Chain A
Amino acid sequence: MLASRALVRGLQSGFWRRVSTSSAAWVAHTHDVDVVDCSVPQYNNRLDTPLPDVPFVRNLSVEQKKLKENEKGSWTQLTKEEKLALYRLTHELSYAEMRQGSKEWMTVLGGVFIFLGFTGLLVWWQRVYVYGDVPHTLSQESVAQQTQRMIDMRVNPVHGFSNKWDYEKKQWK
């Protein structure tokens, strides 16, 4: 019994958890992060907060401090790389990076199709091996006789069935 429990735990931690968790949730859960203190302002990557409460890089190195000094001057004199470096000091991700999705949808769609296909196989097997014969009224001859009777008795003559039959030419319109 202990062996089977060990087996179940092994399967859970080694296999099932990874398979049953979406990539985004997995990354969020297992990513190595420091303990987060939610009672102070946090950095966040959100489309609707262009300027988060705190900058991304809190502890500047010497070079980064020099860059910040340059920022106090005229911005037209900053090079493109400096501007990009300043952006990356205050923001972790750009808008384009935040908006890009993952490729997870392909896995999900593939899984859906696999299961749909499998269900189709089950349904087909059931039709062949479990169901009995259909009633005789579904034979072509019987259906033709019923259709003729429906036309004769003017079933749904206004917009429906008999409306589509041309009674003069004796054919469907």
Chain B
Amino acid sequence: MAHPTQLGFQDAASPVMEELLHFHDHALMIVFLISTLVLYIIIAMVSTKLTNKYILDSQEIEIVWTILPAVILVLIALPSLRILYLMDEINDPHLTIKAMGHQWYWSYEYTDYEDLGFDSYMVPTQDLAPGQFRLLETDHRMVVPMESPIRILVSAEDVLHSWAVPSLGMKMDAVPGRLNQTAFIASRPGLFYGQCSEICGANHSFMPIVVEAVPLEHFENWSSLMLEDA
């Protein structure tokens, strides 16, 4: 989760998010270089003592400032497309979970082996236990085994929602009548928080997502317990 006043990305909890962080560093560096150059040129133009400032024709600089931006764009596009295709790779998941968006909660279905399904409502502020995070905690978390490829099928039962967990680098729109597929591997155990990312009504801000990545034995214990409770 983000700490208060955090401006940058959260640390990556999946390999894809690590790639995205590196790409963001690369693109942002290019942006800073260009912005610095433009700022320098603006200051130089404003503060010059020269009187004849209006040169109307120069072929060489025109060639340079046409070719150079094209090169820079290619340098941005190549890593970008690489990551795009990386995210789409067939990854032979160990587990498939369906995340269904409702107004205003998520429900998760683990139907690979048994029929396990449960709803995940936000914990209201007045019911929070000491140390819990306001507007982020849920009564039931989506537990997944760590270091395993997981497929998530995202859909919605009523209006548009969006299932997003920033530290896993994931966001997928939940469209009624449509199955959207995404996948991740949780590199480390822990709790990863997210919030609904498509406006869906009055309580759009109050339907968070919590992914709990645990070792496989813990996941197996949890799913047995959940099946017994159901």
Contact = CB atoms under 8 A, between A and B. Distances in A.
Bound together: yes
Interface of A: 47-48, 50, 95, 135-137, 142, 145-146, 148-150, 153-161
A33 B1 CA distance: 69
A145 B131 contact: yes
A48 B49 CA distance: 11
B3 A48 contact: no
Nearest to A159: B11
29 contacts: A47-B51, A48-B51, A48-B52, A48-B53, A48-B54, A50-B51, A95-B51, A136-B125, A137-B128, A137-B133, A137-B134, A142-B130, A145-B130, A146-B131, A146-B132, A146-B133, A148-B131, A149-B133, A150-B1, A150-B3, A153-B191, A155-B1, A156-B11, A157-B11, A158-B11, A158-B12, A160-B3, A160-B11, A161-B3
B10 interface: yes
A149 B190 CA distance: 12
Contacts of B52: 48
A159 to B, nearest CB: 6
Contacts of B53: 48
A16 to B, nearest CB: 32
Interface in B125-168: 125, 128, 130-134, 167
Q: Which 8 A-B residue pairings sit nearest by Cβ, starting from the closest?
A: A145-B131, A149-B131, A156-B11, A158-B11, A137-B134, A47-B51, A161-B3, A145-B130
Given A136-B125, A137-B128, A137-B133, 7 more contacts: A135-B134, A137-B125, A145-B130, A146-B131, A149-B131, A153-B191, A158-B12
Contacts of A161: 3
A156 B10 contact: yes
Contacts of B54: 48
Range class of the B interface residue count: 20 to 34
A136 B132 CA distance: 12
Nearest to B12: A158
A162 to B, nearest CB: 9
B90 to A, nearest CB: 28
B25 to A, nearest CB: 11
Nearest to B167: A156
A155 B1 CA distance: 6
Contacts of B10: 156, 160
Contacts of A157: 11, 188
B130 to A, nearest CB: 5
A36 B207 CA distance: 70
Given A47-B51, A158-B11, A153 B190 contact: yes
A111 B54 CA distance: 35
With most chain B CB atoms within 10 A of its CB, the pick from A47, A146, A149 is A146
Nearest to A146: B131
B144 to A, nearest CB: 16
Nearest to A99: B49
A153 to B, nearest CB: 6
A94 to B, nearest CB: 13
Contacts of B6: 160
Contacts of B188: 154, 157
A150 B52 CA distance: 61
Nearest to A136: B125
B3 A156 contact: yes
B119 to A, nearest CB: 23
A135 B132 contact: no
B10 to A, nearest CB: 6
Nearest to A141: B130
